[in-house]
Amino acid sequence: MSIFTAVEMAPRDPILGLNEQYAADTNPNKVNLGVGVYYDDNGKLPLLECVKAAEADMMKAPSARGYLPIDGIAAYDNAVKGLVFGADSEPVKSGRVATIQAIGGTGGLKVGADFLKKVNPDAKVLISDPSWENHRALFTNAGFNVEAYPYYDAEKRGVNFDGMLEALGSAASGTIVVLHACCHNPTGYDLTPDQWDQVIGVVRAKHLVPFLDMAYQGFGYGIAEDGAVIGKFVAAGLSFFVSTSFSKSFSLYGERVGALSVLCADKDEAARVLSQLKIAIRTNYSNPPIHGGAVVAAVLGDPARRAVWEKELAEMRERIKAMRHKLVDGLKAAGVQRDMSFITQQIGMFSYSGLTKDQMVTLRNEYGVYGTDTGRMCVAALNSKNIDYVCQSIAKVLS
245 binds ligand PMP, rule: CB under 6 A? yes
Q: How far is residue 284 from each of residues 56, 104, 113, 121, measured CA to CA in Å?
A: 32, 14, 12, 18
Using the rule CB under 6 A, which residue among 36, 293, 368, 371 binds ligand PMP?
36
* 365 in Cβ contact with 308 (< 8 Å): no
Gap between the Cα atoms of 107 and 101, Å rounded: 9
Q: Measure CA of the first residue to CA of the last residue in the chain; give whole Å.
A: 55
Min. distance of Cβ 399 from ligand PMP in angstroms?
32
CB count within 10 Å of CB 238 equals: 16
Q: How far is the CB of 376 from ligand PMP (least distance, A)?
A: 11
Q: Which is closer to ligand PMP, CB of 102 or CB of 340?
A: 102
Say whether residue 104 binds ligand PMP (CB under 6 A).
yes
Backbone angles phi, psi at 56, to 5 degrees: -60, -40
Based on CB atoms, which residue is closest to ligand PMP, 91 or 112?
112
> What is the rounded distance in angstroms from the CA atom of residue 313 to the CA atom of residue 309?
6
Contact (Cβ atoms closer than 8 angstroms) between residue 238 and residue 227: no
Active-site option among 81, 248, 278, 326: 248
Residue whose C-alpha is closest to residue 306's, from 314, 257, 215, 290: 314
| 213 binds ligand PMP, rule: CB under 6 A | yes
Decide whether 106 or 393 has the Cβ nearer to ligand PMP. 106
* DSSP 3-state of 128: strand
Catalytic residue among 132, 190, 278, 326: 132
CB of 256 to ligand PMP, least distance (A): 7
Q: Any contact of residue 226 with ligand PMP (CB under 6 A)?
A: no
Upstream peptide bond of 130 is cis (omega within 30 degrees of 0): yes
Query: Rule CB under 6 A: is residue 293 a binding residue for ligand PMP?
Result: no
Residue type, 99: T
* DSSP codes, 65-102: --PPPTT--HHHHHHHHHHHH-TTSHHHHTT-EEEEEE
Q: Which of 210, 258, 368, 371 binds ligand PMP (CB under 6 A)?
A: 258
Closest distance to ligand PMP from the beta carbon of 237 (Å) = 26
Nearer to ligand PMP, 188 or 330 (CB): 188
247 near ligand PMP (CB under 6 A): yes
Q: Is 132 a catalytic residue?
A: yes
Among 208, 215, 234, 390, binds ligand PMP (CB under 6 A): 215
Nearer to ligand PMP, 175 or 185 (CB): 185
Backbone angles phi, psi at 5, to 5 degrees: -55, -40
Residue number closest to ligand PMP, CB atom = 104
Task: Tell me how far, at minimum, the Cβ of 378 lies from ligand PMP, in Å.
Answer: 10
Least Å distance, CB 196 to ligand PMP, is 17
255 versus 392: smaller Cβ distance to ligand PMP: 255
Distance CA 364, CA 345 (A): 25
Give the three-class secondary structure for 212: strand
Distance CA 333, CA 347 (A): 23
Q: CA–CA separation, 20 vs 359, rounded Å? A: 20
Dihedral sign for Cα atoms in the order 172, 175, 178, 182: positive
Give the one residue of 34, 105, 130, 375 binding ligand PMP; rule: CB under 6 A: 105
In the complex with ligand PMP, the residue whose CB is nearer, 217 or 353, is: 217
Q: Does residue 351 bind ligand PMP (CB under 6 A)? A: no
Q: Which is nearer to ligand PMP, 245 or 393 (CB)?
A: 245
How many residues sit in the footprint of ligand PMP (CB under 6 A)? 12
Distance of alpha carbon 210 from alpha carbon 125, whole angstroms: 10
- The catalytic position among 213, 226, 278, 309 is 213
**What is the number of alpha carbons within 13 Å of residue 238 lying toward its C-beta?**
26
Q: Cβ(135)–Cβ(127) under 8 Å?
A: yes
For the CB of residue 245, give the shortest distance to ligand PMP in the complex, in Å. 3
The one segment of 25-33, 103-111, 290-298, 319-327 that binds ligand PMP by CB under 6 A: 103-111
Among 32, 99, 128, 185, which residue interacts with ligand PMP (rule: CB under 6 A)? Answer: 185
Residues known to be catalytic: 132, 213, 248
Q: Which residues bind ligand PMP (CB under 6 A)?
A: 36, 104-106, 132, 180, 185, 213, 215, 245, 247, 258
